[in-house]
Structure 1
Amino acid sequence: MGRNVRKRRSPLAVRAVAASAALAIGGGGLVWANFYASAHEENSGQNSTKAATAQVATIYCPDVGQQLTDVPDPARGEVDGELATLDQQITDAYQRLATTRDAQAQDASFVQNSVLQPLKDNRAVIIDRIQLEISRVGGNAPDALDGLASCTGEAVEQPQTNDGQAGDGQDQNTESPAPGGDAGEAAPPVGGGQGGNGPVAADFQDITTAQANNQKGVGANGLTASGKTGSTGTFTTKCGTNGNDNHNTDNVIVAPGVTNGAHHLHDYVGNQNNDAFASDADLAAADTTCQNQGDKSSYFWPVLRVQDGTQDFDQNNAGGGTEGNVGKILEPVEAQIKFFGNKTGDVVAMPTALRIITGDAKAFINGNANANANWSCTGFENKVQLEDKYPICPEGSNVVRTTNFQSCWDGQNIDSANHRTHVAFVQADGTCANGFKAIPQLRVRLVYDVPAPTIENGQVVNPFAVDSFPENLHKPITDHNDFINFFDTNTMNKVVDCINTGQKCT
């Protein structure tokens, strides 16, 4: 069940961002220009024409990786590398979209001919390689892959209320925009954020006016599995808040062997050897920030930044400022890592090196099927959990990100081709479906002391946001969390015993 180091692969080189399309701020870092002219500005006729023409906000591409549920083990390393190349291609195309606004204003066909068609051609080559790599080792690639090369330009709508405030947040299940946006349709002004690619005012919700929705647990997709029956104990591991600034833009689960495979920056606590090239042996031998030295598990999530005009160490780096992830990185003031039981019965031990990804870093483009974002404020967590809004907290209250992980395991695999099908959430009655086994459910609760942003004239001032793939525009629904189990056997057995016997252990 172990994983070996894959052959080192590098994504396509990140295209240089044209200085004429960037803003120099805070120490000379280059960030995206806000390329969306306001429809309400009193401009010349030429500028008004640009505002009406340059309306494509992001790029929608079907997620190839989610279709790959059965890739033979001998092909997974190469397939993972090809999927990382697809991500890099989208990033490159988005950068071209963001830095060619003048050309788009002059030529209505520019986006299709100079951005989307080359992207389709490049994606088709990589998809063909994926199919060949799967068939070479005796597998069968899904027929649907042939139709996943085409991408569309999305005119992302961000409606505002008449008073310039963000939406009321009553509907917490808003779907992402449907694919197929027409570049000929006018769109309202979008962009926002210090970097020009989000977040926008409509991404925020005053928590004090939000509808209560959390009587039964944290989030619709992340209900805690435990209850008053079954295995009622808990195990808390204390691993710090990443005060030692362990960051990188890799993702060894999704893109092993690929530098900057995540295209955004992660906080790491626990295991200190996690990068793109870490083998299971590297992770097992690593130091850990956890107080319990029997826990060398890796816990990692995208950083949260405040876009207040300041910059951080990565302002000129891939995965940082050159990919639209701008602003000051915020360290959590609290990072609670806790394991729960199952309300219908006992849990079994997690296997060593089990990988779990929860949430979807591409949920704004992919839709909500795998989304698992829960945002709230201290003092409001038992009342409101926001799935597609960042909270504006009242004075004295802090921002909270809470994630409940999948707690059913197929009993065999530490990972799967799409990194999802080997684990699952419990059913409504708390049981695991399809013969899966209940395992300890991980909950990560992160608390941040964030200055509350304000909404002024329909624009968000000093927003905060999670790092994201650039085309996902820092939407709150893209929040996600990652875990690789490296509890030693004795400590994992203690976790299981504590949970199954109703104890509260650390």
Structure 2
Amino acid sequence: MTVAVAAVAVLVLVASVVVLTGTADADRYVTELDQVVDEPEVPSVVVQCGTNDERHLNADNPVVSPGIPFGAHHTHEYVGNKSADARSTNDSLAAATTTCEKNDLSTYYWPVLRLTDGTGPDAHADGGGLHGNVGEVLKPKSVEIRYAGSPVSAVLPMPRFLRLITGDPAAFTSGYGPNTRARWGCSDKPGRYTTKYPLCGSATTLRTYDFGSCWDGNNTDSASHRTHVVFALAGGACPPKTFPVPRLRVTVGYDVPQGRPFAIDSFAEELRDPATDHAMFVNVMPEALMSEVTGHLNGAR
């Protein structure tokens, strides 16, 4: 574990220019990152969980659709808990093994990124081609799991088995509402991002997932998987009747070959829109490890 302080439809690509044969995707690929990250520096802790070398992939969603095989209708990439799937329970997750250091049994997962001019092994399978997600799955180059403190107060430990989602997998059909939190970037343009697919050239393409960090103090889940943990207000304070917990940020990097088209998996009706990017998390850290992380985050206060 590393402790740090941090500011926390068809297309052809020619060089860095996007040439489209249809108009539906014309505005989904950009070379400019038009949004700026502006946030205070806070203590943070990085937990090493690898890059899914074992290729733990499935079309399940143990947070949103537990008990329903292929319930995601698109393929997810996992790090952490090696057993996570539709059948997962608190007991099964706690009894599993993990790719993370210090026996962090948590599960962290997000939709796969595909090179859409290739062929994936699931071209005729649920979550893959049967749900409109075609192409070669691109393995991440890097995955960073970072927990950050609050800029205004100490944080409480996350409760074990807390379940979270960030981003809106239905952002396209819902008109890019308030749950849309897709953040795409390039490694050579730190502090800048876009909700569209970035053309990063030889730089690493980044996907960043920030999770809510203001807990209701009682529940490890809710019907929407959102109302029990919400996002902090401007300035970092939590809304009334919520309590700050470590803020999870997952950053995934890819070496996207220049000149090749790419897209994330999505529900078929979402048309693989980049704004539908999202991620899920189940906290299965041993309580002693969560206490250690929380202590680091509060220690510099």
Which of 212, 233, 256 is residue 406 of structure 1 equivalent to?
A: 212
Aligned to 1:500: 298
Is 1:342 the counterpart of 2:150? The answer is: yes
In structure 2, runs of 5+ residues without a counterpart are 1-8, 11-16
Residue of structure 1 in register with 2:112 after alignment: 303
Radius of gyration: which is bigger? 1
Amino acid at match of 2:194: L
> Aligned to 1:419, which of 225, 228, 244?
225
Q: What is the 5 A alignment of 1:57-456?
A: 189-190=22-23, 200-207=25-32, 210-211=33-34, 213-217=35-39, 227-228=40-41, 232-293=42-103, 295-308=104-117, 310-367=118-175, 368-382=177-191, 384-387=192-195, 389-394=196-201, 396-453=202-259
Letter in 2 for 1:214: V
The Cα shift of 1:215 comes to: 4.8
Q: Secondary structure at the match of 1:233?
A: strand
- Cα offset, 1:260, TM superposition: 0.7
Q: Residue type matched to 1:287 in 2?
A: T
- Alignment of 1:470 with 2:276, yes or no, is no
Deviation at 1:201, TM superposition (A): 3.2
**2:285 counterpart residue number:** 487
Which SS does the other structure have where 2:173 is aligned?
helix
Change (3 A) 1:489 1:444: same
Higher helix share: 1
Measure the CA separation in 2 of the matches of 1:166 and 1:253: 38
Task: Give the root-mean-square deviation of aligned CA atoms.
Answer: 1.9
Rounded to whole Å, the distance in 1 between the matches of 2:56 and 2:245 is 28
The TM-score, its normalising length taken from structure 1, stands at 0.54
Deviation by residue 1:47-93 (Cα, 9 ceiling, x = unmatched) = xxxxxxxxxxxxxxxxxxxxxxxxxxxxxxxxxxxxxxxxxxxxxxx
Equivalent position SS for 1:236: strand
Measure how far apart 1:189 and its partner are: 4.6
Aligned mates of 1:279, 1:291 — CA distance in 2: 22
SS at 2:77 equivalent: strand
CA distance in 2: counterparts of 1:235 and 1:378, whole angstroms: 20
In the alignment, the residues of structure 2 paired with residue 430 and residue 378 of structure 1 have an alpha-carbon distance, to the nearest angstrom, of: 26
> 2: CA distance between counterparts of 1:292 and 1:338?
14
> Within 5 Å, which residues of 2 pair with 1:36-51?
none
More strand by share: 2
Alignment gaps of 5+ in structure 1: 1-33, 37-163, 168-187, 192-199, 218-226, 454-461
- Would the alpha carbon gap of residues 265 and 165 (structure 1) be closer, same or farther in structure 2, given more than 3 Å must change? closer
How many Å separate the matches in 1 of 2:265 and 2:300?
Answer: 38
Contact persistence 1:270–1:289 (CA under 8 A): yes
Between 1 and 2, higher relative CO (CA 8 Å, sep ≥ 6) is seen in 2
Work out the CA distance in 1 between the residues paired with 2:22 and 2:187.
Answer: 33
Moved over 4 A (4+): 164-167, 188-191
Cα pair 2:63 2:281 within 8 Å, conserved: no
Mapped to 2, the partners of 1:391 and 1:189 lie a distance apart of 19
- Deviation, structure 1 residue 233: 2.2
Amino acid of the structure 1 residue aligned with 2:121: F
Find the residue that maps to 2:172 and give its secondary structure: helix
Contact kept? 2:213, 2:231, Cα under 8 Å:
yes
Q: How many residues align?
A: 286
Identify the residue that residue 74 of structure 1 maps to in structure 2: none
Is the partner of 2:36 in helix, strand or coil? coil
- Amino acid aligned to 1:392: L
CA distance in 1, matches of 2:113, 2:22: 25
Q: Distance in 2 between matches of 1:425 and 1:277?
A: 29
Residue 202 of structure 1: CA displacement?
Answer: 2.0
Amino acid of the structure 2 residue aligned with 1:450: V
Measured in 1, the distance between the counterparts of 2:38 and 2:66 equals 37
**C-alpha distance in 1, partners of 2:154/2:92?**
32
By how many angstroms is 1:237 displaced?
0.6
Distance 1:259 1:385 in 2: 34
Does the C-alpha gap of structure 1 residues 486 and 215 become closer, same or farther in structure 2, counting only changes over 3 Å? closer
Is the partner of 1:363 in helix, strand or coil? coil
Q: Distance in 2 between matches of 1:299 and 1:410?
A: 22
| Structure 1 residues 215 and 324, CA gap change in structure 2 (3 angstroms) | closer
